[in-house]
Each structure stands twice: as C-alpha cells, then as structure tokens.
A and B are shown apart, each in its own frame.
Chain A
C-alpha cells in the first residue's frame, strides 16, 4: 500500500522533472573496497556532525540572546529551564569538538593516502578552507556563552591576531568591534557564528561535495594497479550508505553519552574588570599553536618571537593548502617518501605540542 503510494509520487515527479540522472547515479555510484576503505567514512561522519551542529545550533538560536546582559543568562536558562535544553547545548558543544577532531582525521587520511593529487586538487583546497572555517566556527562560538574562560580566551586569541604586521591591528579592531573585548565583540561573533560563517561554509561544502560526486572516490595506487577483475567495489546505495549510517549512529550514541556524563561547564559570567582566572587555555585544537607561540623566544632574527611564529604558521598553512600543486620528486629507494615524512612530522608536532600545552 505504502510502496504503491510511494511509487505513484515518484512517477508523478518523474513525469515532470525526469529523475533518470538521479536514479542512474544511485544505481551506478560505486566505492572501492580495500584495506584502507575505513578512511572513506571520516568525511561522512564529519558531514554528519556538521548537520548535528546545524540542527542543535538552530534549536539553541530559539532561546539564545546575544548581549552582555543576556548571553550568559540565556545559556543558563537553556541548560536549566528549557526542556532538553541541557542536552541540546551539550550535544552542540561536544559535537563541535568531535567535528574538529574528525575533520583533522579526515584531512590527514586524505593527505597520507595522497588523495589530493590530480585531479582532486580543488577538493583538497576546498576541504582545507572548510577546516579553517570550522576552526573559525569554534573560535567564534566559544565566546557566545559569555563566561569568564571564553572571555579571556577570546581576549588572548584576538591579541594574537593584533601581532600581525600592518593588517593585524585593524583586523583585531574589526574582530573586537573596538579596543577591547566587549558586548560589541559578542554581537559581532554571534553574527559571524550564525550568519556569515554558515553562508560561506555552505558554498565551500557544496563545492567540496560536488567535486567528490563528479570524480568519485579516490583509489589508492596499489588498488589502481590491480587487474580489473581483482578490483572490488561495493555499491554506494545501499551498502556503503548503510555502513555510513551505522557509524553515524554509533558516533551519535557516544555524543549523547558525553553530553550527559561530561556536561560542558558554564562557569562564571564574564567580568571585564575581574582579574583573569588561572589556567586560561584555548580550545584543544588551538593548543598546539598557542603553546608553540608561548615557547618561542622573545626575539628571533630581529623580529618578535610571537610574530615570527604567526608568520611561520601562516606560511605553513598556505603551503599545506597548496600541497597538490607543489611537485616533490619521489625518491626511489626511500622507505618513506618525503611528503609522507613531512606529514608524520606535522602530526607528531601537533600531538606533542598539544600534550605539552596541557601538561605545563
């Protein structure tokens, strides 16, 4: 009965809009099956978490009121009075962190499997931009509850922006909406978090997904070199999609477990005149940069250590984004290729700096 109605609706639409290409896509889309297939799921789960953010973010928006006198109070209202508000807010916070984590995993898995190579250069570039936007989401969203830690972390964070020569100071002023972190900064960050970033993010996300759709999944070298009959594929619908779904359900279950048992603390309301509380730390995904800047000596080669660090990070980020366009010759006889080695060093650096940052 239901099936009948379903097919009737489908044929009604088909008659008018020609669903053939879509049907073909669903029928023919295939995903290579090999021992590294697991990494294919990382992008999917990142996308899933983005949708969780979108949904919980919209729900939070119903009650959140930006402003020095209302932001903290409204978040407290959400977690104390609103039905399931505590769950939505904690899922939003936890999901944000998992999203960044999976985005990083996704990026490094693509890097190490060299999936960014021709013809997928633009997929990599858009992906990198999406990661930067995700970090911007994290940074702007962190301030919104207007609590002590967020307030001072934002102060420190925007101070770092101010160090950049020429554009740093004006950029800091634009970000803060004035000399200091105030209510103006809060409204600004709110606008950035819920309107500007989502708009830009959507454009790059659509492009990213479109590129993937156009080119299909990347096949690793070894898989490509296999004889045709040995190459194994699984259909995207429903096999791969089901596996994706299975992973998402597990991640979602972990998400609500974290939200319930490790709720995100709200802390004290921000007070510009209060002394900075001890142990101001940025979010974990900024820790490696923050700690590196802290460790640098006051002066390196005639310029300030901090500025030197920021410039290095900036240049490194640009190089990282443009890696598909940089030709590095394969070294025969080397067990680990130079690029892989660089990748390992980068991961090692990030991991070590993050850990030290938390221990010190």
Chain B
C-alpha cells in the first residue's frame, strides 16, 4: 500500500510540474495582452471622464506607463485629494511650452528608451528646438506644433502602425490640421493650400491614391522633428535623396553654378515643389511649354542643346511606339511575345535613363543613350516581324500540307473505287 502511494507520488510530480508550467504560460500571455489598470484609470473610467482622444491602444499604456508618468500624482491612491495632491507631484495638464521637455524626460534618455527599442533615436527634442516650430515655441508662441500636435496626447502609436497619426499615409492630413488652417497660417504669412497642391502632384497621387508607402510625404522633404522649409542650397539634396542620378548629374554641370549665382531654386525651378507633376518631354525643347526657353533665347547655346535633346527623345519615343505596335500585333496573333516584351522593357529603361541624362544638359550624352534605346527597339521590331512572318508561314504551311493530304485522299479514294470495281467484276 505504501509502495503504491510512493509510485503515485512519483507520477504526480511531473504532472504537477507540467500543470504549473502551463499556468505560468497563461499568466505571461495575459501580462502581454492587457496593460495594468491603476487607480487613475479605474476612477476616471468609472466617472467617464477620460481624455477626449483616449485610446486603449496607446503605446504608452502597453509599456505599462501610468497617467501619472506625465501628469504626476499618486496612481495607487483611490482618494482624489491624495492622488492629485501637489505633494505627490501632480501637475495636471502640462503647459504647452513644457510638453517637449516632458516627453524628452524619457525620449531623450537612451537608458530608458533602449529597454523598449535598442536602436531608437533620442534626439527628437534636440531636433525639435532647431525647427521653426521649436524656435517659435521657445519664443512664447502658443500656436505652433509641439509633440502632441502631431503624435496626439492619448492615442500615441508607433509610426509604422497604420492607425497612427504619423503613419506615412496619414501624415499629409496630420500636418494639414494646422497648415490647412487659413486663419492660422495668415499670421505666419504662409499659404494654406499645400495639401491641395500636394494631392494633385505625382508624389501625392502615389501616396494618397495608390497607397505607395515609398512615395514622399511632407516629412520626407521637410524633416519631421526638425521641420524646416528646405533652403536653396539643400533643395537638390532633398530631391536627390530619392532622385540620386538626377542630383548627381545636375550638381556637376555649369547650369548648377549659374542657378546658384542667379538664386534659382535648383530642381524646384523647373519642376515646382508641392504640386510637382510627372515630367513630360514637353518640358524640354523650344516649344511653348518648355522650361528651357524661360531663360534661353534663339541663338544661344542652351537653346540649341535643348532643341537637340528634345529631338533625340522624340525619336526614341517614336521607335518605341512603333516597336510596341508590332509587339501588340504579335500578341494579338497569339505568337511568342516573351522576348519582345523583355526588349521593350529595356527600351523603356533607356527612355527613363535618357530623360534622367537631360540633367547633364549635354545633348551628346542624351543622344548616345537614345541611340542605344533605338537599337534595342529596332531589334524588338525585327523580332516581332519575324514572329508575324512565322504566323503566316504556319498558315501557308498548313494550306500546302492540306493540299498534299487532299491529293493523297483523292488518290486513295480512286484506288479504293478501282479495287471495288474489280471485286464486283469478279
């Protein structure tokens, strides 16, 4: 009997251990999923006075930060007078000019922040004070944006979260909350139609319509915490962050120097800024819409170069169109269009490259590239012609084969009839 009990105990041990393990696991999950609820939250929820923009999903809540982390006070006490007493450090709603420093208490301290994200930046506040927003706030302006203007106060989410006010797709609207306010902007003497212009631009369409997160939003050109309108010197670098080749070509030209001397805004001079449109060949050459003739006049070198560049581009485009028409015919005939498709992609690539080379303002460089594209287009057209010829050859081959088969059929038929006649005679 004793022995049996002993065995039972032995078997029960690992079982208990397992049970404990699963219990522990359950607890861990619970801790991860739900933030702690302290006395601030419990009471405010009860009397239904939670901040207007309060969200259960706030990142700080999930980091187990209490209301008191920002507002001060004692989150353990259920007694309002104790909880909100100044002796417990209660500050209530922080003053606007204090907010950057308040957030910086943690966000500028890498020792605190690395717990959450080892690679997180901690220079936001420092950057902020270099921005127009920050400088104005320091000088006592109560209307400029501080941290909570963009990130919200109680609904703060990481920028990668699509629900966040600073998620790439939401940024234009977040900035527009203030920058779209005519009255407010009037005070600073800046326009308020940026979003409207941006939405129509090639960047705005890509981001807002096509939801292309690679497209630049406000902060990609202006910076975020250190937001500033880009200066003349920095414009080509700002655009060059993405349009690297264009910047590289442009900065090494004579034109770049002349632009600087004449106080021209580099890229912006021809392409505009918020309303930047998809560039077309109409922008170059000596026609009415050309940007070049704004400065260049007939007879000068630039005028001639612009004309030449335009001619090369148009020529390449024509070759591309004709090759594409042949490609479509091949496809429509159900013939092999794979290789031609690849070649046409290469031609398209040379079109893009030669358009980029416009920024060298060197017609020989552009025409060398367009000739390369033309050669590929010719190759594609030849291949397409071969396929179309093959299409007709197959049909003709079938017709010829059918004639041969018909002759065989007739011969066989006659032979059979002849045999039948013979057997009938027998």
Binding site for B on A (CB under 8 A): 76, 79-81, 234-235, 238-239, 242-243, 245-246, 249-250, 252-253, 256-257, 260, 263
**Nearest CB in chain A: distance from B195 CB, A:** 38
CB within 8 Å for A260 and B336 given contacts A246-B409, A249-B409: no
**What would be 16 A-B contacts, judged by CB atoms less than 8 Å apart?**
A76-B338, A79-B336, A80-B338, A234-B420, A234-B423, A239-B416, A239-B423, A242-B412, A246-B413, A249-B412, A250-B405, A250-B409, A252-B405, A256-B398, A256-B401, A260-B394
Interface SS of A by simple majority:
helix
Contact B412 A246 (CB under 8 A): yes
Neighbour of B415 across the interface among A235, A242, A252, A263, CB < 8 A: A242
Q: Is B243 an interface residue (CB 8 A)?
A: no
Residue of B nearest to A259 (CB): B398
CB distance from B130 to the nearest CB of A (A): 48
Asked if B419 is at the interface of the complex by the 8 Å CB criterion, the answer is: yes
Q: List residues of chain A with CB within 8 A of the CB of B394.
A: 260
**Contact at B398–A260, with CB atoms within 8 Å?**
yes
Expressed in whole angstroms, the minimum distance between the Cβ of A124 and any Cβ of chain B is: 30
- In the complex, the number of residue pairs spanning A and B with C-beta atoms less than 8 Å apart equals 42
Chain B residue at minimal CB-CB distance from A260: B398
Are A242 and B336 also in contact (CB < 8 A) when A249-B408, A256-B401, A260-B394 are?
A: no
Query: Is A245 within 8 A of B405, CB to CB?
Result: no
The docked-state distance in angstroms from the alpha carbon of A215 to that of B413 is 28
Instruction: Tell which of B395, B415, B420 has the most Cβ of chain A within 10 Å.
Output: B415
Contact of B405 with A253 in the complex, beta carbons under 8 Å:
yes
How long is the Cα–Cα vector from A80 to B336 in the complex, in angstroms? 6
In the assembled complex, the CB of A21 is this many whole angstroms from the nearest CB of chain B, namely 24
Residues of B participating in the A interface, judged by any CB pair closer than 8 Å? 334, 336, 338, 394-395, 398, 401-402, 405, 408-409, 412-413, 415-416, 419-420, 423
B420, A257: Cβ atoms under 8 Å?
A: no
Q: Quote the shortest CB–CB distance from B411 to chain A (angstroms).
A: 9
Docked CA distance A76–B391 (Å): 17
CA distance A260 to B394 in the complex (A): 8
Chain B residue at minimal CB-CB distance from A239: B419
Closest residue on chain A to residue B422 by CB atoms: A239
When chains A and B are docked, how far (Å) is the Cα of A249 from the Cα of B402? Answer: 10
| Known interface pairs A246-B409, A246-B413, A263-B334; A239-B420 also in contact (CB < 8 Å) | yes
Chain A residue contacts of B423, Cβ below 8 A: 234-235, 239
Q: How far is the CA of A260 from the CA of B395 in the complex (A)?
A: 8
Measured CB to CB, the closest approach of chain B to A67, in angstroms, equals: 20
Interface pair B419/A238, CB less than 8 Å apart? yes
Query: In the complex, are the beta carbons of A245 and B412 less than 8 A apart?
Result: yes
- 19 further A-B contacts with Cβ under 8 Å, apart from A253-B405, A257-B402, A260-B395, are A76-B338, A79-B336, A80-B338, A234-B423, A235-B423, A238-B419, A239-B416, A239-B420, A242-B412, A242-B415, A245-B412, A246-B413, A246-B416, A249-B408, A249-B409, A249-B412, A252-B405, A256-B398, A260-B398
List chain A residues, Cβ under 8 A from B336: 79-81
Most buried by A among B334, B402, B412, B415: B412
